[in-house]
Amino acid sequence: MPTMIVVPQRDLLVVENLKKYFPVRSGLFQRIAAWVQAVDDVSFAIREGETFGLVGESGCGKTTIGRTILRLTPATGGSVFFDGEDVFSKRGSELKALRRNMQIVFQDPYSSLDPRMPVGEIIGESLQIHGIGNNRERAEIVQGMLAKVGLNPYHARRYPHEFSGGQRQRIGIARALTLRPKFIVCDEPVSALDVSIQSQVLNLLKNLQKEFGLTYLFIAHNLSVVEHISDRVGVMYLGKMAEVTTREELYRDPLHPYTQALLSAIPLPNPKLKRRRVVLSGDVPSPLNPPPGCRFHPRCPLAVDVCRQIEPVFEQKVADHWVACHLVSASAVKM
Pick from 187, 222, 190: which is nearest to 104 by CA?
187
What is the residue type of 224? Answer: S
Please identify, using beta-carbon distances, which residue of 122 and 284 lies nearer to ligand SF4.
284
Size of the site for ligand SF4 (CB under 6 A): 12
Displacement of CA 45 from its chain's centroid (Å) = 12
Rounded-to-integer distance, Cα 312 and Cα 317, Å: 12
Binding mask 275-294 for ligand SF4 (x = CB under 6 A): -------------------x
Q: Which is nearer to ligand SF4, 152 or 309 (CB)?
A: 309
Please, how many CA atoms are within 13 Å of residue 209, restricted to the half-sphere of its CB? 22
| Phi-psi domain of 282 (left: phi exceeds 0; alpha: psi -120 through 50; beta: other) | left
Q: What share of the chain is helix, strand, coil (3-state, %, to 5)?
A: 35, 25, 40
**Cβ within 8 Å of residue 134, ≥6 positions away:** none
Q: Report the distance separating Cα 123 and Cα 146, nearest Å.
A: 9
| Residue of 99, 297, 317, 321 that binds ligand SF4 (CB under 6 A) | 297
If the CB atoms of residues 208 and 294 are measured against ligand SF4, the closer one turns out to be 294
DSSP for 118-172 reads -HHHHHHHHHHHTT-S-HHHHHHHHHHHHHHTT--GGGGGS-GGGS-HHHHHHHH
Q: How far apart are CA 128 and CA 135, in angstroms?
A: 9
Q: Least distance to ligand SF4 from the beta carbon of 256, Å?
A: 6
Candidates 216, 230, 110; CA nearest to 163 is 110
Q: Does 261 bind ligand SF4 (CB under 6 A)?
A: no
Based on the shown chain and the rule CB under 6 A, indicate whether residue 56 belongs to the binding site for ligand SF4.
no
Interface with ligand SF4, residue 327, by CB under 6 A: yes
Q: Which stretch binds ligand SF4 (CB under 6 A): 47-55, 66-74, 139-147, 321-329?
A: 321-329
Smallest distance from the beta carbon of 76 to ligand SF4, in angstroms? 24
CB nearer ligand SF4, residue 12 or residue 325: 325
321 binds ligand SF4 (CB under 6 A): no
216 binds ligand SF4 (CB under 6 A): no
Which part of the chain contacts ligand SF4 (CB under 6 A), choosing from 21-29, 55-63, 143-151, 323-331? 323-331
Compute the distance between CA of residue 59 and CA of residue 50 in angstroms, rounded to an integer: 25
> What mask, x for binding ligand SF4 by CB under 6 A, covers residues 66 to 105?
----------------------------------------
Quote the least distance from Cβ 328 to ligand SF4, whole Å. Answer: 7
Residue 303 interacting with ligand SF4 (CB under 6 A)? yes
Burial 257-291 (b: 16+ CB within 10 A, else e): bbbbbbbeeeeeeeeeeeeeeeebeeebeebeebb
Residue 138 in contact with ligand SF4, rule: CB under 6 A: no
Residue 239 touches ligand SF4, criterion: CB under 6 A: no
Q: Is the CB of 127 or the CB of 241 nearer to ligand SF4?
A: 241
Q: Tell me which residues touch ligand SF4 (CB under 6 A).
A: 257, 294, 296-297, 300, 302-303, 307, 312, 325-327
